[in-house]
């Protein structure tokens, strides 16, 4: 297969008039433009990686069956997302474990050729969070961040847990140390940690901040909090829901200016009601949600998830003046680096994870391995 692009995004930036050569799902080379390409596009970028997503368009990773989740993953692939982590959030341990079992089922089906954006593993967003920074989580299901509680939750699924969000101030040092030794990336999130507790957490091995600014103590000039250290510590990664609903465009720009493309990660935080028409919905797990003007909220008015897909968040970054290469890298190369997984780079020898776009950054075609999906 040959993909010819006017602009091709490589790890070093955009190259003009290049062809990506693919054989058996692997990139075999990058060369000059050709006339006999299988796909011709304006822009060619790495497939997008969403490390923080809970579902969308009616599919719920906490409650849907494998077939419904696979249909959603096929929809994501059509829209340029090639890898996702399944966001399993704070609920009773049996409910979370049941959801993780379905994730494993989907991963097994994909290994047998089921298709769609690749479900790479699990992101545990809880239950080890702060009672004082719940966001849309249910206080009843929050647990102390002990190693024993983690083992009770994760037993049998340790091999597919790729990321975990923890409130580090909740006596979490032992669990952070345990996870760090196992190589599991950790985000500080749903946290009321002070700046001093933040410094300590990042020294222990916490590597990033979950959906920056959301469900965390705000920055205050006399009580700066963990978010301040997240911005100042050059090694810390910061997730951002760049739908311009969760975070004001100027605050999004602040994260970018402080962290740069190598440490800012774009995430959708999409939920089952993301993408559905305005109205009132009862999610499959029984949660009542109201969608109005595309925003998904609890009856109390709290945002319960992102309002757009990853590609729209990239477009939003470009709208506020972020260089195109940086905007796309923050949704591909940077999360791959943080998670220490393959992907996010168009280089010879890599698995083909490629998004082809027109001049308006609308999808034309997505390639993932041997899958080729036209928009």
Of 53, 125, 90, 136, the C-alpha closest to 302 is 136
Told to judge if 269 belongs to the known catalytic residues of this protein, a careful annotator would answer yes
- Gap between the Cα atoms of 147 and 177, Å rounded: 10
Going from the C-alpha of 144 to that of each of 115, 154, 353, the distances in angstroms are: 38, 15, 39
Q: What is the CA radius of gyration of the chain?
A: 20
Locate 334 and state its tokens: 């940077």
- Number of helical (H) and strand (E) elements in the chain, helices listed first: 10, 21
How many residues in the chain? 375
- Gap between the Cα atoms of 166 and 200, Å rounded: 14
- Gap between the Cα atoms of 125 and 147, Å rounded: 16
| 108 contacts 119 by C-beta, under 8 angstroms | no
Q: Which of 60, 269, 313, 326 is catalytic?
A: 269
Contacts of 262 (CB under 8 A, 6+ apart): 329, 334, 337
Q: What are the backbone angles phi and psi of residue 373, rounded to the nearest 5°? A: -120, 125
Active-site residues: which are they?
A: 269
């Amino acid at each position: 297969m040959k993909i010819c692009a006017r602009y091709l995004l490589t790890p070093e930036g955009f190259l003009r008039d290049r062809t990506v050569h693919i054989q058996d799902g692997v990139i075999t080379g990058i060369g000059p433009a050709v006339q006999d390409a299988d796909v011709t596009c304006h822009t060619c970028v790495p497939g997008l990686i969403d490390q923080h997503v809970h579902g969308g368009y009616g599919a719920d990773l906490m409650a849907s069956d494998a077939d419904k989740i696979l249909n959603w993953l096929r929809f994501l692939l059509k829209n340029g997302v090639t890898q996702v982590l399944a966001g399993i959030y704070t609920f009773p341990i049996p409910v979370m474990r049941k959801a993780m079992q379905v994730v494993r089922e989907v991963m097994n089906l994909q290994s047998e050729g089921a298709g769609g954006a690749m479900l790479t593993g699990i992101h545990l967003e809880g239950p080890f969070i702060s009672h004082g920074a719940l966001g849309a989580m249910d206080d009843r299901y929050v647990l102390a961040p002990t190693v024993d509680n983690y083992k009770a939750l994760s037993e049998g699924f340790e091999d597919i847990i790729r990321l975990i969000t923890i409130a580090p101030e909740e006596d979490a040092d032992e669990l952070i140390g345990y996870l760090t030794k196992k190589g599991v990336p950790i985000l500080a999130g749903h946290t009321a940690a002070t700046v001093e507790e933040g410094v300590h957490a990042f020294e222990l091995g916490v590597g990033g901040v979950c959906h920056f600014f959301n469900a965390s103590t705000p920055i205050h000039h006399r009580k700066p909090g963990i978010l301040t250290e997240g911005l100042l510590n050059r090694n810390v990664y910061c997730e951002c829901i760049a739908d311009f609903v969760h975070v004001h465009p100027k605050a999004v720009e602040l994260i970018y200016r402080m962290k740069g493309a190598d440490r800012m990660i774009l995430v959708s935080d999409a939920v089952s009601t993301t993408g559905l028409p305005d109205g009132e919905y009862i999610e499959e797990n029984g949660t009542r949600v109201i969608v109005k003007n595309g925003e998904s909220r609890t009856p109390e008015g709290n945002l319960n998830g992102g309002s757009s897909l990853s590609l729209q968040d990239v477009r939003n970054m470009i709208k506020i003046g972020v260089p195109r290469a940086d905007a796309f890298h923050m949704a591909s190369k940077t999360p791959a680096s943080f998670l220490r997984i393959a992907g996010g780079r168009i280089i010879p020898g890599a698995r083909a994870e490629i998004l082809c776009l027109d001049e308006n950054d609308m999808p034309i075609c997505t390639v993932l391995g041997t899958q080729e999906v036209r928009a």
